Structure 1
């Protein structure tokens, strides 16, 4: 049979008009050249195949000829169904008797008929542009003129605990959005989006769900973007891949020694003896007890323990003499 139009549109041979419209619309959104900036020629070629397949399969006469005789039936090399053979020379079925913009207008109905543009030349030019279809049908140009714009990305904050960012976790986000049906009408739907939080992810990390925003006439669906934010923790503060903990100690402990005790974000108990004299700027560094490094979670930053030294509000004469003698 040569080219398989059903395979191009990814539909069964029994597909009806609504099936064809849905499949065509989905493929148009996927393959228009603005979305394939790295390979516009491939996108343009694919777009032509999709358009040709839809044009044939939505025309009952051409579809009948194609189903019975394949491409030859469209080129007049076999009699179209119901004619009883050729008469007056071969009959051909041109692949593109309808203009591309007429088909797009019929399919998407992006504009309101009340504003005088739906189905008219202004509407058709506004959707994809005459220049685009001229180059599209002839194989020239980059195929990017006036392709439907994409809606502005929808950005939402995803608040995570420091423990979640340390260990990694999976979340499920329930969203509500509008989806345009085959008649161009918005229908509210709800979806559950799975989000996998990787160990070591930082505040500001973006998780993008392409085209999960509301669908609107004349616009590609917007992307939905979640941006990681971090809840404050009672013990630790994050500094890049390091964790910082501040502990209060007495002046005597600062001068004579101290044992720091901490529970890690994964539940382990650390005991860290410190025998150095601790000044107000002193930090005790415990290597490998910080946050996982996102590119290599088997490695971690450091734990840095800082100290808030509590100086006495008053001292006895004996204590003062003792310090002076020291």
Structure 2
């Protein structure tokens, strides 16, 4: 394999020679996390990956490497003893023949600087990201340093003089961003009546300030008709302040209060209606159909009627279409669920001997 393919090949970054800057970054991110010694990887492999990224992410170094390979990059001169490199590191730039004289930066510094530029390990990475398992308290990654011990990102002073040694030329003293302020979770208990109609609640919260004092805030929490248990409403920056002055997010989580008449099943409402054994067998006194009136959650009264002459079995159900909970999902064709009426046949506690005899004759 040609000498100038080493940094690209699958065992290093695993990219093509025409890889874009974004593809190089993505490959380094994957391989550095996979091969980091703190994750059980090989220190030598981690070093190779870092060196490859440092070279390929710098257009000047990459150009030299692509043309003259690793020897030309590190001062061995171009193959065949060509005219050497000038002070700028380009062939034929004039002065001296000593080559580019590239020296790899400490791989831990490259790693720390790379992830610091992404937001201290938080930028765009989910909680299942392998990087999340690095480090300890303080919010920033804690990496091994060639200067000894475990150091946070704030301990990267001295990088200002690295110039071209680091991809992009990092200057100053990068420091770890503060840890995210987190969130405060509070319950939002709502009745079925409130969830049927939707509305707004004004809730007072007390939050702690960075200065040590407290502050009261009124939050207007708007909830939509049909919302279900577990729905979250977030107020960014409304919670307690941390030592950096960042305010937590306040998150309200919907809870449903029990209802004495209705039970909710998704978008449907279930209600139990009692009828006597006599009504179940014979219908209402005077004949006709059994009709029951149900008070809906918005105050309307709904009549539910059984077919005339029907014998009602215990547990018999009648579905009333469109009288359930509103459907809050945007774009849903169905606007409301259904009401499911469960008929509960109430048996008498006792009957007389004469009644028993009469029933035997009727029922056989």
Question: Aligned residue for 1:37?
Answer: 124
Deviation at 1:305, TM superposition (A): 1.1
Structure 1 residues 35 and 171: CA distance shift in structure 2, 3 A: farther
1:149 equivalent to 2:179? Answer: yes
Question: How far does the alpha carbon of each residue in 1:175-216 deviate from its partner, in whole angstroms, 9 at most, with x for none?
Answer: 111233xxxx23322211111110100111111112322111
1:158 equivalent to 2:188? Answer: yes
Deviation at 1:237, TM superposition (A): 1.3
For 2:245 and 2:155, how far apart are their aligned partners in 1? 14
Name the SS of the counterpart of 1:157 in structure 2: strand
1:252 equivalent to 2:278? Answer: yes
1:234 equivalent to 2:260? Answer: yes
The 8 Å contact of residues 149 and 220 in structure 1, kept in 2 or not, is answered as no
For 1:273 and 1:249, how far apart are their aligned partners in 2? 12
Name the SS of the counterpart of 1:323 in structure 2: helix
Question: Aligned residue for 1:265?
Answer: 297
In structure 2, stretches of 5+ residues that fail to align are: 1-117, 126-137, 139-150, 284-289
Structure 1 residues 138 and 214: CA distance shift in structure 2, 3 A: farther
Question: TM-score, normalized by length of structure 1?
Answer: 0.54
Name the SS of the counterpart of 1:207 in structure 2: strand
Question: How far does the alpha carbon of each residue in 1:62-86 deviate from its partner, in whole angstroms, 9 at most, with x for none?
Answer: xxxxxxxxxxxxxxxxxxxxxxxxx
For 1:140 and 1:238, how far apart are their aligned partners in 2? 61
Question: How far does the alpha carbon of each residue in 1:110-154 deviate from its partner, in whole angstroms, 9 at most, with x for none?
Answer: 9xxxxxxxxxxxxxx8585638x879x97579xx98421124421
Structure 1 residues 172 and 249: CA distance shift in structure 2, 3 A: same
Deviation at 1:167, TM superposition (A): 0.5
Name the SS of the counterpart of 1:300 in structure 2: coil
Question: Aligned residue for 1:221?
Answer: 247
Question: Aligned residue for 1:302?
Answer: 338
Structure 1 residues 129 and 294: CA distance shift in structure 2, 3 A: farther
1:85-100 correspondence runs (5 A):
none
1:1-326 correspondence runs (5 A):
36-37=123-124, 130=156, 139=168, 146-180=176-210, 185-218=211-244, 220-257=246-283, 258-275=290-307, 276-296=310-330, 299-324=335-360, 325-326=362-363
The 8 Å contact of residues 259 and 271 in structure 1, kept in 2 or not, is answered as yes
For 1:263 and 1:202, how far apart are their aligned partners in 2? 21
The 8 Å contact of residues 175 and 193 in structure 1, kept in 2 or not, is answered as yes
For 1:158 and 1:310, how far apart are their aligned partners in 2? 38
Deviation at 1:318, TM superposition (A): 4.4
Deviation at 1:306, TM superposition (A): 1.2
For 1:269 and 1:179, how far apart are their aligned partners in 2? 51
Structure 1 residues 187 and 313: CA distance shift in structure 2, 3 A: closer
For 1:165 and 1:33, how far apart are their aligned partners in 2? 41
In structure 1, stretches of 5+ residues that fail to align are: 1-30, 39-109, 111-124
Name the SS of the counterpart of 2:335 in structure 1: strand
For 2:256 and 2:196, how far apart are their aligned partners in 1? 11
Name the SS of the counterpart of 2:314 in structure 1: coil
Name the SS of the counterpart of 1:293 in structure 2: coil
Report the RMSD for the aligned CA atoms in angstroms: 3.2
Structure 1 residues 273 and 34: CA distance shift in structure 2, 3 A: same
Question: TM-score, normalized by length of structure 2?
Answer: 0.49
Q: Which has the higher strand share?
A: 1
Name the SS of the counterpart of 2:193 in structure 1: helix
Which structure's relative contact order is higher, taking Cα pairs within 8 Å and 6+ residues apart? 1
